[in-house]
Amino acid sequence: MRYPPLDSQLFKHNRLNLASKLKPGSLVIVHSADPQRLSGDGVLPYRQDSNFFYLTGIAQEESILLIISGSDGDCREVLFVKETNERIAIWEGEKINLEEATKLSGISQVEWTKEFDSILEDLLANTNQIYLDFDAVNKPKLFPLSKNERLARELIELHSNIEAISLTPILKELRMIKSDAECDLIVQAGAITEKGYDRVLNFLKPGVWEYEIEAEFIGEFIKNKSAGFGYNPIVASGANACILHYEQNNGLCIDGDLVLLDVGAEFSNYKADITRTFPVNGRFTPRQRQVYQSVLAIKNLATKLLTPGKTLEEYNCEVGELMEQKLIELGLLKSEEIKNQDPKAPLYKRYYMHGTSHHLGLDVHDLSDRECSVQPGMVLTVEPGIYIKEEGLGIRLEDDILIGETENKNLTPDIPIEIEEIEDLMNKK
């Protein structure tokens, strides 16, 4: 890994919070992510399962966490890691040993993964409840089942006397509230992202290609110990910015157009998620300026509206009302239309199709319960946008916000966002 080892207290803290919510006499089993294979013997770069990393800090494949909740409320923890050998060391490099696994995770009992089945068999004889990392909701599957989901199905089929309980509701509750250590990691991811934006501001000009901008970002990220992009980057110039999940990044940046950049670095598995919209030639046109200022005003107001006790649905309705007023000012909607609109299909959705905020952390759309009210300690994005397809104009602005008791904190405050600052920086070349 490129980043320094993290303090195991972070993962001890997470496991203690989990243990406090377990039923006495139960087991918890969480697997690491499966390696993702390409054709032949190729594999994609390994990405650890977010829940497993959250509980252990272990970034290695073929690892398992086992927690035994005693009848007296005490918990025993066992971590299993892959045993290495000379062939693995030659082809893949050294794997972590038992002592290193203890240091990283804070778990004193560490065994080789090959011992898991026999230890589990003994434990199954003395429990009737197992918490497993699977989604209890019956949703259509778009992807192959994970190791956790396969294990859940296997145990349910083979041990009908044991109740399989989904860990998802507990992990949603825990992961929505970020510790100080987690916030620090998101801030570090944001700081690396800022360096990328600074580099791109100096690079951007008419005639560059979107993929060249993507290359500037990834070069700066890797140079600063990031594993790379926290999600597929969006580099959308001109009308491409009206495609919400545009990822082709193969267009030419043309004089007079804007380029929308939705890019965030990953650091220590934690993500930043930042969006800025810049003029390709370093100057906003009057119309671009007008729409940009509208989006920025909504973003600033939306950040203040994101307050404890409010659900995201309530919050999005409030932001929608702000958007209606701005779209009227921009000549895109009329007041009379708004009065007569169907409340279930608000007209502002023509120009603003997505929600304003999502949770952020180990995943860019972090594990969360969207029915839950906003609480201090949550980290959410604020990302309004206006997309005018008929004008080939799309503008989105986004920052990462830590919810406070009385005031929210922008975790990425230094990435240029004001028009004057952007133009000044771009014209100093």
Catalytic residues, which ones? 41, 245, 262, 273, 354, 358, 365, 383, 387, 396, 398
Give CA angle at 358 (392, 178), nearest 5°. 145
Half-sphere exposure of 375 (CA within 13 A, CB side): 14
**Gap between the Cα atoms of 126 and 211, Å rounded:** 57
Residue in the structure block whose two tokens are 């994101």 = 306
**Gap between the Cα atoms of 75 and 333, Å rounded:** 59
226 Cβ contact partners less than 8 Å away, ≥ 6 residues apart = 2, 189, 192, 265, 266, 267
25 Cβ contact partners less than 8 Å away, ≥ 6 residues apart = 69, 70, 71, 126, 127, 128, 129
Asked if residue 333 lies in contact with residue 352, where contact means CB atoms within 8 angstroms, the answer is: no
Residue among 246, 259, 261 nearest 194 (CA): 261
Structure token pair of residue 267: 């650091």
**Gap between the Cα atoms of 271 and 284, Å rounded:** 30
> Radius of gyration over alpha carbons of the chain, in Å?
24
Instruction: Report the 10 Å Cβ neighbour count for 220.
Output: 20
**Gap between the Cα atoms of 50 and 56, Å rounded:** 10
